[in-house]
Amino acid sequence: MHHFSYKDGQLHAEDLPISAIADEVGTPFYCYSTATIERHYRVFKESFPQTKTLVAYSIKSNSNLSVIRTLANCGAGADIVSQGELERALAAGVPADKIVFSGVGKTASEMASALDAGIYQFNVESEPELQLLNEVAVSANRTAPITLRVNPDVDAKTHAKITTGKSENKFGVPWNQARRIYRDADEMPGIRVVGVDVHIGSQITDLTPFKDAFGRAVEMARLLRGDGHAIERLDLGGGLGIPYRQSNETVPPTPSEYGAMVEDLTKGLDLELIFEPGRMIVGNAGCLISRVLYVKNGSDRNFLILDAAMNDLIRPALYDAHHDIVPIKEPAANATNLPFDVVGPVCETGDTFAKDRYLPDIKPGDLVGFMSAGAYGAVQSSEYNSRPLVPEVLVKGSNMAVVRRRPTLKEMLSREPMADWL
Ligand code: LLP
């Protein structure tokens, strides 16, 4: 569900024609819908009517300050993985006691800053990390509330690059070592055990792996309580998939199906549940808008050459991801669709967004939109080929704001002082 639709023959973001935004900010640019972000947060939050929950939006999926503040205003917390994300969450107004800190490589200085800010919990991923956190906390005269991320060895059946819950993945502590590590944690003066954490991957479109992993996490919580630990919280991570195709051949579970499954598994346990959804909140709330530069007729295929490239949206190149591509001007109902390879200007064959994509007759100068690009789009962009990072625009009703502007080439070059011997 999203708020991008055709009105009067033009794709609109909420009440604004996208072509008008393009005229104002130039292309390419990311465009986000406030109503969609807010709706997805609400729908997710309301999927757990029986339970105390903290929805800690995973800000790695879209860390624009205005996006984070939109969610903070709805009551969301934040799941962070770096000092930069901590700064963003705080700057956007997320209260420190709604911030959880994930990630396999936290540094001592990141730990110190997060302790200083007073975050809600650290999701610890290894024994050496636990020991370091204890040392940092003791020397700062603080106690770090922790969960251990346990690796449930469950296959999330998603793309290999975004699977995290198998024993061969780098994430979490092995299941059969967890109880001993919790015992050790209890002896550490800078550590306070508060719960158990699990996260098995992203873009998961089937409830079964979630159910298997969460079942194991619940079992671990019971065992740990039996061992005498005060387990108050269960952090179930993120990962709920979204529909990427309007034609919808894979329909992900709805948040309410997901919520009912979770509430059933955790019934009567008196656990606070923490979730770290990213894509589910912002994925379908954003699109990347690009202009067609050329239509090139090759020897055996036709290329649509856009002004957006793999540096702006890397998901197709990195994960073979599909994004629906739609013309901004609504095609006639009887328009004939022709196959195009949709590519960008970067000098690599990998700079291909789609092959044999059927699109109506599109001409140079026309605008197209990559749908479902709100998550892992702008955040994964780079300046490859010395292309400036594209602007981000947030729409609310008929208002728009440029919430990240395009840097000038001069600014980009000025970040690189010349070596003084040159
Ligand atoms: N929690 C943890 C510990 C995570 O590692 C992640 C995502 C999330 C929560 C949020 O997962 P979500 O609800 O968004 O699925 N760049 C890839 C996705 C990488 C996901 C990394 N971790 C992509 O474009 O598909």
pLDDT in tens, 323-335: 999 999 999 989 8
Separation of CA 307 and ligand 1 centre (Å): 27
248 and 315 belong to one structural domain: no
Q: Sign of dihedral through CA atoms 77, 78, 84, 88? A: negative
253 and 111 belong to one structural domain: yes
pLDDT at 163 over 80: no
In the chain, what is the straight-line distance between the N-terminal and C-terminal CA atoms, in Å? 55
In contact, 240 and 255? CB cutoff 8 Å: yes
Is residue 48 in some structural domain?
no
d(CA 249, CA 114): 42
DSSP 8-state secondary structure symbol assigned to residue 46: T
Q: Is 376 in the pocket of ligand 1 (CB under 6 A)?
A: yes
Percent of the chain residues past pLDDT 70, beyond the cut? 100
261 and 287 belong to one structural domain: no
Is residue 176 in some structural domain?
yes
Q: Is 237 in the pocket of ligand 1 (CB under 6 A)?
A: yes
111 and 256 belong to one structural domain: yes
13 and 117 belong to one structural domain: no
143 and 227 belong to one structural domain: yes
300 and 271 belong to one structural domain: no
Domain enclosing residue 402, as ranges? 4-31+283-414
Which of 55, 157, 202, 284 to mutate to test ligand 1, by most ligand atoms within 8 A of the CB atom? 202
Name the domain boundary from 254, 275, 296. Answer: 275
CATH number of the domain where residue 115 is located: 3.20.20.10
Separation of CA 328 and ligand 1 centre (Å): 29
Q: Is 311 in the pocket of ligand 1 (CB under 6 A)?
A: no
Name the domain boundary from 275, 303, 322. Answer: 275
In contact, 59 and 88? CB cutoff 8 Å: yes
Separation of CA 188 and ligand 1 centre (Å): 31
Distances (CA, A) of 374 to 63, 86, 190, 238, 384: 10, 20, 39, 16, 20
Q: Is 243 in the pocket of ligand 1 (CB under 6 A)?
A: no
Q: How many domains does the chain have?
A: 2
Ligand 1 atom showing the smallest separation from residue 278 Cα: 14
125 and 186 belong to one structural domain: yes
pLDDT at 306 over 80: yes
pLDDT tens across 174-207, in order? 999 999 999 999 999 999 999 999 999 999 999 9
372 and 294 belong to one structural domain: yes
pLDDT tens across 340-361, in order? 999 999 999 999 999 999 999 8
Name the domain boundary from 275, 294, 324. Answer: 275
Is residue 43 in some structural domain?
no
Separation of CA 24 and ligand 1 centre (Å): 32
Q: Closest residue (by CA) to atom 8 of ligand 1? A: 238
Q: What is the pLDDT of residue 83?
A: 98
179 and 202 belong to one structural domain: yes
d(CA 166, CA 174): 10
Is residue 171 in some structural domain?
yes
390 and 295 belong to one structural domain: yes
Q: Closest residue (by CA) to atom 20 of ligand 1? A: 202
| Cis previous bond, 28, omega within 30 | yes
pLDDT band at 248 (very low <50, low <70, confident <90, very high): low
- Predicted TM-score (pTM) above 0.85: yes
Q: What is the DSSP string of 173-241?
A: EEGGGHHHHHHHHHT-TTEEEEEEE---BSSB--HHHHHHHHHHHHHHHHHHHHTT----EEE----B-
* Side chain identity at residue 224, one-letter code: L
363 and 390 belong to one structural domain: yes
Q: Is 277 in the pocket of ligand 1 (CB under 6 A)?
A: yes
pLDDT tens across 139-153, in order? 999 999 999 999 988
